Chain A
Amino acid sequence: MTAAVTAPRRRRRWGSPWAWLIFLLGVSYFVIPLIATIEFSLRAAYKDPVTGEFIRPSLAAYELVLKDPKFVGGLLTSFRIALITIAVSLLLLVPTAYWVRLKVPRARPVVELITLMPFVIPPVVLVFGLIRIYAPPPLAFLNSTFGTEAVLVGAYVVLSFPYMYRAVDTGLSTIDLRTLTEAAQSLGAGWPRVLWSVIFPNLRGALLSGAFLTLAIVMGEYTIASFMGTKTFGPYLSLLGQNKAYEPAAGSIISFAITWAAMFAIVIIGRANRGRTQPAGAP
């Protein structure tokens, strides 16, 4: 006979007041600058052909951006490159982080330093360095479109290092690596199987975070893409900002909305796939 000697807990149907306070403060901080940007973007005006007066507020800036063929082209290209980057980054960093934690803990500071290096190298130095390496023969990748995109993906994977590695490492810290690995190995799994069937599913939340961060980076990146000569979304947005007043504000709101929608889509697709595996341990 057990008696749980606890004070009766109020069923928290609507969440604690503290949580709500913090949440609302956070949301205000995030939303107010966006509102200011939207307000400004709506100041673009159509001119009434009859009276010559301005019709404000209007969606003129948004229309201009959405109708631009470079907008859709850049968006799709960036999105495609982002997905490839996320895949490569996951395939590279998850096994690495796993290996470091399990087998080579002494390498941890070295690996972490390397993953933080992208913060320190200015993007323009990185792109010119990459051009110097991959343009002249024998590694003349930049002469073909495919090669150029491959180098671009490589650069973006490097840019994602700090975020992806930290996300994966954090995820790994929440599961009992050793036990899971030994259990899987005792059941006859080799390393690839261990990673694919045991580790990856347990890191779902962390991998999603890393994927989000990488997607946002690639969609917004400007310097490297423009010097490589690829027609991605970042250079398009930046070009707007140089000469137009209202369109850049509209462009950044549109880009914000689209990237957010893409992330929602990823979450929903991820949920649909969830039924297949049963992650161990996580609530």
Chain B
Amino acid sequence: MDELIAAAQAEGTLTTIALPDDWCNYREMIDAFKAKYGLEVNELDPNAGSQDELEAIKANIGNMGPQAPDVIDVGLAYGPAAIAEGLIQPYKVATWDDIPETAKDPDGYWYGDYYGVLTFEVNKALVPVSPADWADLLKPEYAGMVALAGDPRSSNQAIQTVYAAALANGGSLDDAQPGLDFFKQLVDAGNFVPTVAKPGTIAQGETPVTIRWNYNALANRDALMGNPEIDVVVPATGRFAGMYVQAISAHAPHPNAAKLWQEFLYSDEGQLIWMKGYCYPIRYEAMKAAGVIPQELMDALPDVTGAVFPTLAQLEAAKALITGSWDTVVGVEVIDPDA
């Protein structure tokens, strides 16, 4: 480990990509890493999508400059895709064995870093009674209020939302069609707002009921500090867990810094920082058993018993179905409806 630290410090910099400050508390994670090891961290586009991250590696092959990312944090489906394109290199962190089998590539190319469940983020100033479950969203009192945090054709969060609705609507992880049906009902009832939900639109009231990952919703609630009041509701049924995975670029200009970063993320310290950001760290079960998690942190996280994790195959099948049929759900008009 000490050689790794020395080698990393010789490299001096780490280049990251797609790590927003408020996503799982990455701001504190990066600052803690910088303070502990004295490395610089060069943060590229925090708003990049998973596809952008792979593309950034591909485009920067041979570039040792600051545009080439060393490490990536992408959706689960992108792990195998990255291996297929030869973009990542294997590395097994010291705490490798604590990571559940279902959450890692056996050769160590990618492994899960954290997960969360989909929740309803509600602006209490405009919505006196929060919905408790998916079925509530269809009620007339939520007319023109329900929104997604993205487009299911390009946002992981949005497509998982449609997938998750299936669980509460008679479907299962193998059958995402009821999710599409649910959203069709939502649109027909007039409850759906098509605009992309952001903290601004939630606070302003255009999208007072937004479906997002619990860590994003809770972080937003904290940031708003009661102006307005935000309620974060875990649905009673249909609890859907989504996982992201960590990997090192095969063409990383600073491979040792990248490995040190991974070690930091998967150490108790790193995992707890993620927990402070309301994300469930991947080593949660092992750490809980070892008793290293402070009680307040565990209490701050929402109760997610019964949350289900889709496998890669299930994700692919659902993705194909949802992206293919989403336009029928939202009633795409070719002719100008005002004509």
- Say if A and B assemble together: yes
Contacts of A131 in B (CB 8 A): 59-60, 63, 67
Say yes or no: B204 contacts A40, CB within 8 Å. yes
B199 within 8 A of A: yes
Binding site for A on B (CB under 8 A): 20-23, 42, 44-48, 52, 55-56, 58-68, 198-200, 202-204, 219-220, 223-227
Query: Least Cβ distance of A167 to chain B in Å?
Result: 31
Instruction: Tally inter-chain residue pairs, CB-CB below 8 A.
Output: 99
Say yes or no: B227 contacts A148, CB within 8 Å. no
Say yes or no: B199 contacts A243, CB within 8 Å. yes
Say yes or no: A245 contacts B223, CB within 8 Å. yes
**Interface 0/1 of A146-185, CB less than 8 Å to B:** 0010000000000000000000000000000000000000
Query: Least Cβ distance of B122 to chain A in Å?
Result: 14
Q: 4 new A-B pairs (CB below 8 Å) besides A56-B227, A242-B20, A245-B223?
A: A136-B61, A148-B65, A148-B66, A227-B67
A to B CB contacts below 8 Å, 5 in the list: A56-B227, A140-B65, A143-B63, A227-B52, A244-B199
A239 within 8 A of B: yes
Contacts of B47 in A (CB 8 A): 226, 238-239, 242
A195 within 8 A of B: no
A270 within 8 A of B: no
- Expressed in whole angstroms, the Cα–Cα distance for A239 and B56 within the complex equals 19
- Expressed in whole angstroms, the Cα–Cα distance for A45 and B203 within the complex equals 12
Say yes or no: B227 contacts A242, CB within 8 Å. no
Query: Least Cβ distance of A14 to chain B in Å?
Result: 38
A204 within 8 A of B: no
A105 within 8 A of B: no
Say yes or no: B63 contacts A124, CB within 8 Å. no
Contacts of A142 in B (CB 8 A): 63, 65, 67
Say yes or no: B227 contacts A45, CB within 8 Å. yes
A128 within 8 A of B: yes
Contacts of A229 in B (CB 8 A): 42, 44, 65-67
Say yes or no: A242 contacts B203, CB within 8 Å. no
A135 within 8 A of B: yes
The 10 closest A-B pairs by CB, nearest first: A135-B63, A245-B203, A243-B22, A226-B45, A136-B62, A245-B199, A128-B59, A143-B65, A131-B59, A229-B66
Contacts of B56 in A (CB 8 A): 128, 227
Contacts of B55 in A (CB 8 A): 124, 128
Contacts of B46 in A (CB 8 A): 239, 242
**Interface 0/1 of A205-230, CB less than 8 Å to B:** 00000000000000000000011110
Looking at A54, A136, A226, the one whose CB has the most chain B CB atoms below 10 A away is A226
Query: Least Cβ distance of B228 to chain A in Å?
Result: 9
Query: Least Cβ distance of B211 to chain A in Å?
Result: 17
CB-CB nearest in chain B for A131: B59
Say yes or no: A227 contacts B45, CB within 8 Å. yes
A249 contact from B200, B225, B227, Cβ within 8 A: B200
A246 within 8 A of B: yes
Query: Least Cβ distance of A31 to chain B in Å?
Result: 19
Say yes or no: A235 contacts B65, CB within 8 Å. no
CB-CB nearest in chain B for A147: B65
**Interface 0/1 of A120-154, CB less than 8 Å to B:** 00001000100110011100101100001000000
Say yes or no: B67 contacts A43, CB within 8 Å. no
CB-CB nearest in chain A for B52: A124
Say yes or no: B66 contacts A54, CB within 8 Å. no
- Expressed in whole angstroms, the Cα–Cα distance for A128 and B48 within the complex equals 13
CB-CB nearest in chain B for A243: B22
CB-CB nearest in chain B for A248: B200
Contacts of A226 in B (CB 8 A): 44-45, 47-48
- Expressed in whole angstroms, the Cα–Cα distance for A235 and B44 within the complex equals 10
B203 contact from A148, A238, A246, Cβ within 8 A: A246
A190 within 8 A of B: no
A228 contact from B22, B61, B67, B198, Cβ within 8 A: B67
Contacts of A140 in B (CB 8 A): 63, 65
Given A227-B44, A229-B42, answer yes or no on A245-B59 (Cβ-Cβ < 8 Å).
no
Contacts of A148 in B (CB 8 A): 65-67
Query: Least Cβ distance of B73 to chain A in Å?
Result: 15
Contacts of B22 in A (CB 8 A): 242-243
Contacts of A143 in B (CB 8 A): 63-65
Given A131-B67, A227-B44, A229-B44, answer yes or no on A241-B198 (Cβ-Cβ < 8 Å).
yes
A90 within 8 A of B: no
